[in-house]
Amino acid sequence: MSKNTLREDKTCLNCNYVVEKKFCPNCGQENIDTRKTFYQLFVHFFEDLTHYENSFWKTIRNLLLKPASLTKEYLSGKRMSYLAPIRLYIFISFATFFLLSVIPDNEDTPDVKVNSKKALVATKKKEKDTIFKEQEKIIKLEQLGLLTKTESDSLQKLFIQTKLKQIKDKKNNFTLLGSSYNSVEELDSLQKHGKPSEKLGAFEYWITRKMQLVNDKYDSDELKEKFAESFIHNLPKSLFIYMPLFALVLWLFQNKKKWYYFDHGIFTLHYFSFLLLAILILRIINYLFEFINDYTFFNILEYIFATVAILYMFYYFFPAHHRFYGESRVVSACKGIAMFIINIIFIVIILSVMAIYTFINIH
């Protein structure tokens, strides 16, 4: 822990009050030298972020092993012994999504990416070579007098159209929201010259065109990969947006006179902090097991650990809800199941909407 040098001047820099000891009795500011080395600045930042004096690890231990204990302690007034809920969530959220972004997946190694790119290039080259060879055959038949110029041109055009349609059908076996259009040009043409029954409303046309641009730009595999990337990228924002809704669902199921929305908000911050931390721990353990996955024993151990961790993540909400709200186990379990189903539906909708919003803004 860093050592802070006390100022010789006993006048508080913040409120000009006389400071007899380390902290100002008027505003609480520490009367220390404000000029620091880079090391001191870094350590001070970390200590301030985590409130490291025993409270950080105590908070993490209780968060993982004692469901709802942090929430009950905080609302009872014991707030200096643990990290504040907002600070805890921000710290864990930052750590989780930062580390998840830098921990590599086995499938995303450079060699795999290079090989996939080479395979894609080879496939496209093969398709082009097939078209050129068929064209050469048709031209030879024309040169031998077996086909007229008109017949040769017609056959070449027909073959190219057929081949391109096959490639397009293969490319678009997966489309964003199951698009029924072959291209954005077809959509624009129908919107401009089609029958009234074929035309879309202004908003429907705008969003459909945005999605069709994405379908035209990416093939099936690229589209699935981009969708997954967008889903993960939007997860932190989606969770942050969803937390007030999660607290609202809790509020709807509880006694309005006994519990304030603020109480549900604190419970929500701690619960979401637990989920993020559990996901991070699970990913780190999984990554470490990847180095020894050649041994059957460790594969079984990894499977057991992952199964137990996932089950515990689902189970955690129920004892936390029961202990915090003080209801019977049966009532708490019934409410928990109902809220669980509602929240799963809401979070899937929010994540999907945000993922689609990201897609339609890709250029």
Rounded to an integer, what distance in angstroms lies between the CA atom of residue 31 and that of residue 6? Answer: 6
Burial class (CB in 10 A: 0-12, 13-18, 19+), 318: middle
132 pLDDT band, cuts 50/70/90, is low
- 330 compared with 302, residue with greater pLDDT: 330
Predicted local distance difference test score (pLDDT) of residue 319: 94
Find where tokens 């909407």 sit: 353
Q: How far is CA 297 from CA 159, 284, 289, 307, 362, in A?
A: 56, 19, 11, 15, 45
DSSP 257: T
- 116 compared with 79, residue with greater pLDDT: 79
Decide if pLDDT at 175 tops 60. no
For the whole model, what pTM was predicted? 0.64
Q: Within 10 Å of residue 108's Cβ, how many Cβ atoms?
A: 8
Is 337:326 a contact under the CB 8 Å cutoff?
Answer: no
Decide if pLDDT at 292 tops 90. no
Q: What is the mean pLDDT of the chain?
A: 77
Decide if pLDDT at 24 tops 80. yes
Q: Which residues pair with 32 in a beta bridge?
A: 6
Rounded to an integer, what distance in angstroms lies between the CA atom of residue 120 and that of residue 317? Answer: 45
Q: Which of 81-90, 123-132, 266-275 has the lowest mean pLDDT?
A: 123-132
Rounded to an integer, what distance in angstroms lies between the CA atom of residue 63 and that of residue 203? Answer: 46
At 195-204, the pLDDT tens digits run 887 788 887 7
113 pLDDT band, cuts 50/70/90, is very low
Find where tokens 């190694």 sit: 109
Find where tokens 């050649």 sit: 294
Rounded to an integer, what distance in angstroms lies between the CA atom of residue 52 and that of residue 70? Answer: 17
Rounded to an integer, what distance in angstroms lies between the CA atom of residue 228 and that of residue 109? Answer: 17
Q: Which residues contact 27 (CB under 8 A, 6 or more apart)?
A: 12, 14, 15, 17
174 pLDDT band, cuts 50/70/90, is very low
Find where tokens 């349609």 sit: 165
Find where tokens 């699935």 sit: 224
Rounded to an integer, what distance in angstroms lies between the CA atom of residue 360 and that of residue 57? Answer: 43
Decide if pLDDT at 139 tops 90. no
Percentage of the chain with pLDDT > 90? 21
Percentage of the chain with pLDDT > 70? 68
Q: How does 179-191 read in b/e, with b if 16+ C-beta sit within 10 Å?
A: bebeebeebeeee
Q: Which of 70-79, 178-187, 273-282, 354-363 has the lowest mean pLDDT?
A: 354-363
Q: Within 10 Å of residue 285's Cβ, how many Cβ atoms?
A: 15
The pLDDT of 144-162, averaged and rounded, is 70
φ and ψ of 118, to 5 deg? -65, -40
CA atoms within 13 A on the CB side of 347: 18
Rounded to an integer, what distance in angstroms lies between the CA atom of residue 154 and that of residue 39? Answer: 76
Please tell me whether residue 18 adopts helix, strand or coil conformation. Answer: strand
Find where tokens 């040009």 sit: 185
Predicted local distance difference test score (pLDDT) of residue 172: 47
Q: Domain coordinates of the chain in residue numbers?
A: 1-36, 51-120+219-363
At 35-74, the pLDDT tens digits run 666 666 666 666 665 555 567 888 999 999 999 999 999 9
Predicted local distance difference test score (pLDDT) of residue 351: 75
Decide if pLDDT at 268 tops 90. yes
The pLDDT of 180-187, averaged and rounded, is 74
Q: Within 10 Å of residue 275's Cβ, how many Cβ atoms?
A: 16
